Structure 1
Amino acid sequence: MEDKSSTAKQAQRPFVLGIETSCDETAAAIVSADRQVLAHRVLSQIDDHAEFGGVVPEIAARQHISHLDKLLESLMKDADLGFDDLDAIAATTGPGLVGGLMVGVMTAKAISTASGKPFVAVNHLAGHALTVRLVEDVSFPYLLLLVSGGHCQILAVTGVGEFTRLGTTIDDAAGEAFDKTAKLLGLGYPGGPAVEAAAREGRAGRFKLPKPMVGKPGCNFSFSGLKTAVRRLAEECVAVEGVLTIKDRNDICAAFQQTLGDCLIDRLRNAIAMFRETAGSGAFPLVVAGGVAANSYLRGRIEALAEQEGMRFSAPPMSLCTDNGAMIAWAGLERFLVDPAINDMDEAPRPRWPLDDDAKPMVGKGKKGAKA
């Protein structure tokens, strides 16, 4: 077993603690400047939300309150460090479920105040966007596909805190489409892994589904119509056979996954052309991050696209694709290295917090600000 005490002593400072409570994972980690994860803990709430078919915000917040203190105590023991040994405390401050965000931010600020260490407010999406730099030597600029349960964006990343949005979803995120498809077909929660598993046993060519936005200019996505088509397809199968069979489910999942992949690839091709207008024609990294990046089928298709386009494919390991504390600690460390005098104690939890400051609502007046 690895000697955590020895690892911490050999690691390069600064050390940053990251806390993640934006949705249904209670997570924390400590990372060092030389890309070592000194300790990492994730407490999943899947069982607490499974019977509802999705995340219930009130339950998520209560679970964070119940478990975060003990999780942090165990984390510090794993790293054999005290709070005074840290150089900064980071926490997801948005976007996300505001009840959960409040738990993590207030806990982080309390530790910051007690230890005299600076508090770093981290955008959850920046955590996903920068995670690849924790595990690989990926330099700026790079093109990023960020796909998760709540977000689907293509961004040019030119530095820490420097993001230009090239495309986004005009309705639902890719991960949300997976979850709702799984719920519709009775596959349970979380939907992404369930749909992927069913798709492996299915035949995608049996059904044809619409490919929203494919062939159109720009890089925006739309998945609402695809979900509706899946529902109608399932209803047609039931009308013909009297029941939705396992074969039907598997074939629908295979068709859905392939169609969603076609949409991602089409939008990415356009984004690569746009990215190269400013970045040039070099072998820049094409990075995929977020929970949907854990889907091996989609990951494989994006990697193949990168090879075709002469780009270098990069992605975090599967364990760091879904929400975790290491990505928040690393994003906080990156900000701390840029500005060692940073202290975000005045920052409050933000349910909406787009990565690019110029973001505008895609639909409606957006009185609460642009959706992340």
Structure 2
Amino acid sequence: MSSSRALRWIPIALLLAAALASRPALADPLPAEPPAAAADADRPWAAGVSKAEQEAATKLFDEATDLLKEAFFKRAVDLYREALTHWDHPAIHFNLAKALMNLDDPAAAYTELEASMRFGGAPLTDDQREQVNRYTKLLYETELAELVIETDEPGAKVTLDGVDLFVGPGKWSGVVRPETTKTLSATKTGFQTQQLQPKLIKGQVNTIQIEMVPLELVTRYVHEFDTWIPWAVLGSGVAILAGGGVMTWQTKKSFDDYDSGVAACNAAAPLSLTTDAGVLVDLSGQVGTCAPTSSLTSKKSQGQTFQTISTIAYAVGGATVATGIVLFIVNRERPITTDEPAPDDSPAAAAPVSVVPYFGPDQAGLTATFGF
């Protein structure tokens, strides 16, 4: 137990010590019962409880009381609770409350003290009833807060720190320890989950009204960035691929022009040669018989340049198209819930993208700029 928590328990411990100073034992025995033949009206706590059940409860009660006297509080609590399954007797609740106070569980102790007064204080003694009144008052004012939870929503499941309380419409009330009360939640299909971390005031009634909000009122569908961006990237990729196609056509045209020029040159400049055997051979129209001009060789060089550009364009265009497809997947519409409605056409985050292809004599590529 922390030092601050121990200090808070000093008033209760002093009160308990003062109450016990005039008593021979820490735990009280079961009060004397009227004869078994007495009418249930005289013993409402025994109504409907068989003699065998009463005897079983009494045996467990005595064992628990011995453990309580020896300060085995946890085991005593277990036996008292088992005894209550046989007989819901006020005196068992009273001693159980004492054991729980020694285990630093004021909320449970308070509940058991109130249960011990279910029949107006009977069959407790006057001294026991006076102890109950003092303990409940001190616990309520110094350690506990009264919590009331309400909801009018049918089917809303309400939990407190993971423990189910009720399903609406309904109401729950009880005492809790503010320091250990963490999360109040309410859930229902089709409604926004409500999660609260209430700040509770000790010694007062703290009322919480839970309002359930339909999801359609707080749900909007958004994209990671503007919907035009994937289209722009995909379109840029297609344009680059189309440019690669144009370069391929230009490549073929340049090479065809070169081949045609060489053939024409050969035809226009017939040559012949005499072999070693003295045979005259006509070489007119054959490749290699013409010395290409600079204008003709430039067509071949131009075709090679176009071929390089088209290869790069296909690679860059394909990568850009793939990027556009990925952006389409990433930018799929998704629902989000907010506390306040937002415009449906506003993206979750603006991320401008600029995609610009470039070509040069020796290189070609694609530049992309993303804004965050």
The TM-score, its normalising length taken from structure 1, stands at 0.20
Greater RCO between the two (CA within 8 Å, min separation 6)? 1
The TM-score, its normalising length taken from structure 2, stands at 0.20
Give 1 or 2 for the bigger CA radius of gyration: 2
